[in-house]
Amino acid sequence: MRIIYHCYGGAHSSVTAAAIHLGLLPLPTVSPEAIVSLPYFDEHSGKELGQLFYYGQDIHGNDVLILGCARLANILKRTVRSALRLSSGDNDPLFINTLNGVNWCMRIGGFLSRRLGWTLVGRPLVTKGTLRALPRLTALVTEALEEHVNLLF
Amino acid sequence: MLIFYSSYNHSYAALLAAALHLGWLPSTRPRPEEILALADFARGRVEDFGVPFLKGQDQEGNLVFIVGEGPARHLVERALMSTLILGGTPRSEIHVVRLDPFLGAYSMYGYWLTRLSLSSELGRMLAAHFISIAWPRLVSLVSQVQSYSGLDVPKEDIG
């Protein structure tokens, strides 16, 4: 199965949720460096919006992917769903919206870093916000996967 | 090859481009009635944004789709390309053609005329008329796509 974590820019909350899913973070104690070193964390800009990225495969063999949707998740989910069916005859992927796990620190830091390019200021701020958001993102991942029992890790 | 013609709403410029590609409409400027004879013309819904619809297969065996971008524009193209590639389709087998930058205002006039018209049938007629003004541009673009995808195209059709 394909599990797609999506958020606004595909750079912070979706990346972190995918990393939590794949066990890439040493929960519960995570350092800022561990967050920043995550693949794709605070990397994608507006040019990557809409682009689906492969993140890894979990222990059950499910593919984990990330997607930045801006405010157009409804449209892009339809596109991705249709395209997957077309290319690989896939059943419906599982879409998990990580925006509910985002706090203001992440929003402001992400905007400064990704939209304005002020990474010196924005990156530490979004990293700090992500660390604070870890319990919420972990709960979000766990709750979403509990609905599909066979996907639990 | 998978060919996707995309416009704001799939049932306007994209549908006409696909119809032209598949030989359902002539390369000379069609009468509005010929365009209106396409049952799907100007009947796309907002819920269809982002969904590619298969319209047929051309003589080279290429599958021709239409897709409405809605406000998502470039994002639908990126989502299509990246998802198809991740699903195993070779990059060289995917061709997304965005029509709105090419046809400019003609396609949008048609769309909004239909939305704002008191009668949907009047709106469809006006949309057909406006898009047909841009017919030579559409023919030129579709000819280039056909040439790229391996179809034999008369030289005079290529702009």
- Note whether B81 and A80 are within 8 A (CB): no
Residue in chain B closest to A90 (alpha carbons) equals B87
pLDDT (mean) for A124-152: 88
Q: What does the alpha-carbon distance between residue B69 and residue A64 come to, in Å, rounded to a whole number?
A: 25
Diameter over CA atoms, chain B = 46
Q: What does the alpha-carbon distance between residue B133 and residue B139 come to, in Å, rounded to a whole number?
A: 11
Of A48, A76, A84, the CB nearest to B72: A76
| Percent of chain A whose pLDDT exceeds 70 | 97
- Contact A82/B52, CB-based, under 8 Å? yes
pLDDT band at A68 (very low <50, low <70, confident <90, very high): very high
Q: Does residue A57 surpass a pLDDT of 90? A: yes
Check residue B154 and give its pLDDT: 52
Task: Sort out which chain B residues have CB atoms less than 8 A from A74's CB and list them.
Answer: 49-50
- Contact A52/B83, CB-based, under 8 Å? yes
A64-78, A126-140, B103-117, B130-144: least confidently modelled range? B103-117
Tell me the pLDDT of chain A averaged across its residues. Answer: 93
Q: Closest Cα to residue B10, out of B94, B80, B60?
A: B80
- Confidence (pTM): 0.90
- Note whether B9 and B47 are within 8 A (CB): no
pLDDT (mean) for A41-66: 94
B49 and chain A in contact, CB less than 8 A: yes
- Note whether A75 and B8 are within 8 A (CB): no
Q: Enter the tokens of residue A83.
A: 């395209």
- Note whether A22 and A64 are within 8 A (CB): yes
Residue in chain A closest to B74 (alpha carbons) equals A50
B28: left (phi over 0), alpha (psi -120 to 50) or beta: beta
Check residue A32 and give its pLDDT: 96
Check residue A146 and give its pLDDT: 84
For A146-152, which contacts have Cβ atoms below 8 Å and span 24 or more sequence positions? A148/A1, A148/A94, A150/A60, A151/A1, A151/A3, A151/A58, A151/A60, A151/A62, A151/A94
Residue in chain B closest to A69 (alpha carbons) equals B75
Check residue A128 and give its pLDDT: 97
Distance to chain A for B28, nearest Cα, Å: 33
Task: Sort out which chain A residues have CB atoms less than 8 A from B80's CB and list them.
Answer: 79, 83
Check residue B132 and give its pLDDT: 86
Q: Enter the tokens of residue B61.
A: 């065996």
- Note whether B24 and B142 are within 8 A (CB): no
- Note whether B144 and B159 are within 8 A (CB): yes
How many CB atoms sit inside 10 A of residue B137's CB? 15
Q: What does the alpha-carbon distance between residue B42 and residue A93 come to, in Å, rounded to a whole number?
A: 31
Q: Does residue A125 surpass a pLDDT of 50? A: yes
Strand-strand pairing, B52-57 and B63-68: antiparallel
| Mean pLDDT in consecutive groups of 10 residues from the start of chain B, 159 residues | 94 94 93 90 92 96 96 94 94 92 69 69 83 89 90 50
Task: Sort out which chain A residues have CB atoms less than 8 A from B79's CB and list them.
Answer: 50-52, 67, 76, 79-80, 83
Q: Which helix (H) or strand (E) holds A146?
A: helix A119-146
Q: What does the alpha-carbon distance between residue A133 and residue A127 come to, in Å, rounded to a whole number?
A: 10
Residue in chain B closest to A48 (alpha carbons) equals B78
Each residue of A1-34: pLDDT tens digit?
899 999 999 999 999 999 999 999 988 889 999 9
Check residue B153 and give its pLDDT: 53
